[in-house]
A and B are shown apart, each in its own frame.
Chain A
């Protein structure tokens, strides 16, 4: 059973607006969370991460929020750009070793 869930398979957003991607998890032992971005015909690349001791981490246009009590995290992209069109995977770990991934959300940024 999947321990990391991304319930929105796709998201369409206008260029310049905010993209919000959501991720839920069931394993309370997860203590580190990452977001990966994947373009077609390429492997996933690391985007941003957050430790369970924090509730927010920012890197330029990307911010990840963690709500441990709700077992929920979200990725905000502001402002969205055409180059952000990709598949985004949420991932989590409880052992600093293996990653559990969500199903992914395909983001399309419209000009």
Chain B
């Protein structure tokens, strides 16, 4: 059974650029959630995808968008990057979208915006 894998692990962008982060969910999991974790903070919920549809969204602007594919892998896209977007981006998969299901996190993608 494979866990949650994310790519790239590290990347550096400049303000105004766009970035795409990728996530492969754990085998058997159909739900993917994305979190942003700034330095010294807890993870903040960005959005969740269930069966290729957005199934909930946190307090993030529309320039944060996502996709989920038929194999349940997912992408997080961020347009018009800002310095405050520098953070660890965590993908987590779960067996279902129901709230009580446990999330399994990937290792994260660390984004630095200069």
Are these two chains actual partners, yes or no?
no
